[in-house]
Amino acid sequence: MKLMYLVSKARMIIAAVAFGLILSPAVAVASTIKVAGIFTLPVEQQWISRIHIALSAAEKRGEIEYVYSENVSNTDYERVMREYAEQGVDLIVGEVFGLERAARKVAADYPETAYLMGSSFAPQAPNFSVFDNFIHEPAYLSGMAAGAVSESNIIGMVGGYAIPEVNRLMHAFMAGAREVNSDVTFLVNFLDSWYDPPKAKESAFAMIDAGADVMYAERFGVADAAVERGKKAIGNVIDTASDYPGTILASALWHMEATIDTAVSAVADGSYIADDYSQYSYMAHNGGSLTIDKTLVPANIVAAIEAKEAAIRNGSFVVTINDETPVSDN
C-alpha cells in the first residue's frame, strides 16, 4: 500500500509540473518593475510632489522598486538619465520641459528603457511617452468660485512661466470666473521661475495694491500675500487650505496615480509604447479634482460648481484648452 501511495504521489507531482500547477518562485511571481524618478526640483515642490506621491504609492503596494534623484540641473539631467538606463532601470519618469532634445536623444540611445516625461511636445517612438498636468477642468471650477466671491471684480494671477502647461490652467480659470461674473477683470504676471516665493509675494502685493481681492496662487508665495492683506486665494495642484485657513476658496488638484499606474502596468505586461498620457490627468480618470471651502463660497455657487463638475465628468460640458499666453485686461 505504501509503495502504491508513493507511486501515485509521484505521478501527481509529474502531472502537476506538466500542467504548470507547480511553479518556481521566478515564474510564479513577476519580477518587480524598476522605476527611477529624475526631478529638477525637490520632491516637496507642488508639481513634483504629485509624481513622487504616485510612485511612492506604487512602491508601497510592492509593484515597483523606486529610486529618485532630485534637484537635478538641466545641464546634468542627460547624464543622470543615462546612468539610470545603464543600471537597467525599466521605467524613467521625470520632466524635460527645458531639455527636450537631450532627453529624447537619450531615449533613442536606450530603446529598451521606457520613458514617461512631462513634456510640451508629442511622444517619440518607440519608448518616449509624455504627460502633463491637464487640470484645466478643476481650474475652470475654481474660477467660478473666485468670480463669485470677488467684490472688486479684479482677480490677480501669478504664474511661473508662460508655457502651455500654465497658460491653459489660467485661461480655464478665467473662463470659469467669467461664467458667474461678466464684470471680472484680470491682472496677470509671470515670474520666469518655478520657485521664488519672495518674488511671487511681491508680485501679489502689487496686484492687491491695484485692487485685486482674489489671487490665483499658481506659485508658492501668492497665498502668503493674500493672508497678510486679508484677501482670498485659489490653490493650484496641491491642497494648501489647512496652511491658510480662511483664505483658500478652492483648489484645482492634480493626481498622478492614473498616469503612473497605467504606465507601470504597460511596462509589466510588455505592452508599453510611446504614447500621450495627458488624458489621465482629466477628471474622467480622477487625474484632477476640486476642493472647495463651503464656508467661504456662497451655497448657490457651490451648487452651480457641483452641477458643472457633473457635466464635465459626463462629457456634456467641455472646458476649452487654450495654450496661448494670457495677458492682463488693463
Domain boundaries, the chain: 31-131, 136-254+286-314
Burial class (CB in 10 A: 0-12, 13-18, 19+), 41: middle
Length of the chain: 330
pLDDT in tens, the chain (330 residues): 333 333 344 443 333 334 343 333 333 335 799 999 999 999 998 899 999 999 999 999 999 999 999 999 999 999 999 999 999 999 999 999 889 999 999 999 999 999 999 998 999 999 999 999 999 999 999 999 999 999 999 999 999 999 999 999 999 999 999 999 999 999 999 999 988 999 999 999 999 999 999 999 999 999 999 999 999 999 999 999 999 999 999 999 999 999 999 999 999 999 999 999 999 999 999 999 999 999 999 999 999 999 999 999 999 999 999 999 999 996
How far is residue 133's CA from residue 7's CA, in Å, rounded to a whole number? 63
Helices (H), 61-196: 74-86, 100-109, 136-149, 164-180
pLDDT of amino acid 18: 40
**Which residues in the chain belong to E strands, given as ranges?**
33-38, 64-69, 91-95, 114-118, 128-131, 154-159, 185-190, 214-217, 232-237, 248-254, 288-292
**How much is the pLDDT for 31?**
76
Same topology, domains 31-131 and 136-254+286-314? Answer is yes
Exposed/middle/buried for residue 294 (C-beta within 10 Å: 0-12, 13-18, 19+) = exposed
pLDDT the model gives residue 157: 98
| CATH level 3 topology of 31-131 | Rossmann fold (3.40.50)
pLDDT of residue 194: 85
User: If one looks up domain 136-254+286-314 in CATH, what number appears?
Assistant: 3.40.50.2300
Q: What is the pLDDT of residue 30?
A: 52
* Nearest CA-CA partner of 130 in 168, 85, 161, 97: 97
3-state class of 121 per DSSP? coil
The whole-number pLDDT of residue 27 equals 32
- Euclidean distance between CA atoms 16 and 187, whole angstroms: 72
**The predicted structure's pLDDT at residue 14:** 39
